[in-house]
Amino acid sequence: MRFDGRKFDQIRPVNIVRNYTKYADGSVYIEVGDTKVICNVSIEEKVPLFLRGKGEGWITCEYSMLPRATQIRKMRDITKGKIDGRTVEIQRLIGRTLRSVVDLKALGEKTLWVDCDVIQADGGTRTTAITGAFIAIVEAINKLHKKKDFKIYPIRKYLSAVSVGIVNNEKLLDLCYEEDSNAQVDMNIIMTDDGQFVEIQGTGEQNPFSRKDMNELIDLAEIGVKKMIQIQKRSLKNDALWIGTGGEI
């Protein structure tokens, strides 16, 4: 039993509020335990220079953590005059994982800007952002679909992410900050609803880990991702009917 009462294979309570902000094309507020993230998606009717004239779209992300999202105030990047390396890593991760489940040719020459803002951090901010951003992407693409039907619906699969780790020699799912900061091994796993992997990030924070440890952590993460995707499906309900149709609507 963990200090917050969870079992080793239990995710934290999840709360999702859709259409959270007024102006975004897709907007989600997501809580996973005490981690709270706002995910907004904006549709831009153009693509980066390297994609112009190729007939396909793009998805990119900006990620930030508000100064008092953490126990000690975190200085804004604009004050420092440069983007924090961790911020760059996370926003690239979110962008490429979302692109992995979207047919960019079916999307057409449009850019989806995904803004993920952490308003409270208690571990798993990047995995929470990916889980929430996927729902916001669905909202934005459905808004496009209502204006003009896609011949092929762009979203091919569900996508979600969880953290796993080894803390005090115990393998745990969905680490909160207290666990994450004391982890011997820390991993972030991003998967689709059909069990395929999009990305695996694993680090031996204090000690190297074995292939057996890695396999067991991945099995544990798969349990968590399945639960997260069930929650996504309940949140989207009838707005997700076209996901994974793989052809003409």
On whether 125 is known to bind a ligand per the annotation, the reply is yes
208-220 residue pLDDT tens: 999 999 999 999 9
**Residues in the chain with pLDDT < 50?**
none
Q: Provide the pLDDT for residue 249.
A: 53
- Alpha carbon distance 90, 61 (integer Å): 9
| pTM for this predicted structure | 0.95
Q: What are the structural domains, with CATH classification, of the chain?
A: 14-236 (3.30.230.70)
Answer whether 35's CB lies under 8 Å from 124's CB.
Answer: yes
On whether 124 is known to bind a ligand per the annotation, the reply is yes
Instruction: For 70-88, give one letter per residue: b (16+ CB within 10 A) or e.
Output: eeeebeeeeeeeeebeeee
Q: Provide the pLDDT for residue 86.
A: 87
Q: What six digits make up the tokens of 243?
A: 């996901």
The radius of gyration of the chain's CA atoms, rounded to the nearest angstrom, is 18
